[in-house]
Amino acid sequence: MPRKITNSISFYLVQEEVFHAQARRSLQSIGFLAIINSPAGRIFRLVAGTGFLVVGYVYRDHALGVLSMAWSALPLSAGALDLCYVSALLGGPLSGAKIRGKYKTG
C-alpha cells in the first residue's frame, strides 16, 4: 500500500478514536449513561418502544407506520435485554449491567 494512503488511513483512525473519546466523555459528563441504564431508563425504553409499536400499528397502512413499528424494535430490545446501543456505538460496553458496574449507576 502506498505510504500516502497508509498515512491517510492512520490519520482517519486517530481522528475517529479522538471523536469517540470526546463523545464518551460528554455522555458521561451529562449523566446520560447513568439515566438511560437505570431501572427507570429501562422502563422508559420499554414504554417508548411500546408507543412506537402502537402508533405504527394504528398507522400500518402508511410508510411511517411501518417505519415506526420497525423502529420500535430498538428501544424494546434495549429495555427488555438491558442493552445500550448508544454506548456500543461510541465504543463502550453494550450490556447495561457492565455500564452500571463501570460507572457505578443504578
Contact 54, 77 (CB under 8 A): no
Q: Of 19-23, 79-83, 93-97, which gets the smallest average pLDDT?
A: 19-23
Phi, psi of 64 (to 5 degrees): -65, -30
User: Does 75 have pLDDT greater than 90?
Assistant: yes
What pLDDT is stored for residue 36 in this prediction?
A: 81
Contact 35, 96 (CB under 8 A): no
User: Does 31 have pLDDT greater than 80?
Assistant: no
Q: Which three-class secondary structure state does DSSP give residue 83? A: strand
What pLDDT is stored for residue 34 in this prediction?
A: 75
pLDDT average, residue stretch 11-38: 65
User: Does 87 have pLDDT greater than 90?
Assistant: no
What pLDDT is stored for residue 91 in this prediction?
A: 75
Residue with cell 482517519: 12
What pLDDT is stored for residue 33 in this prediction?
A: 74
Q: How many domains does the chain have?
A: 1
What pLDDT is stored for residue 29 in this prediction?
A: 52
- Specify burial of residue 92 (Cβ count, 10 A radius: 0-12, 13-18, 19+): buried
Domain coverage including residue 52? 3-103
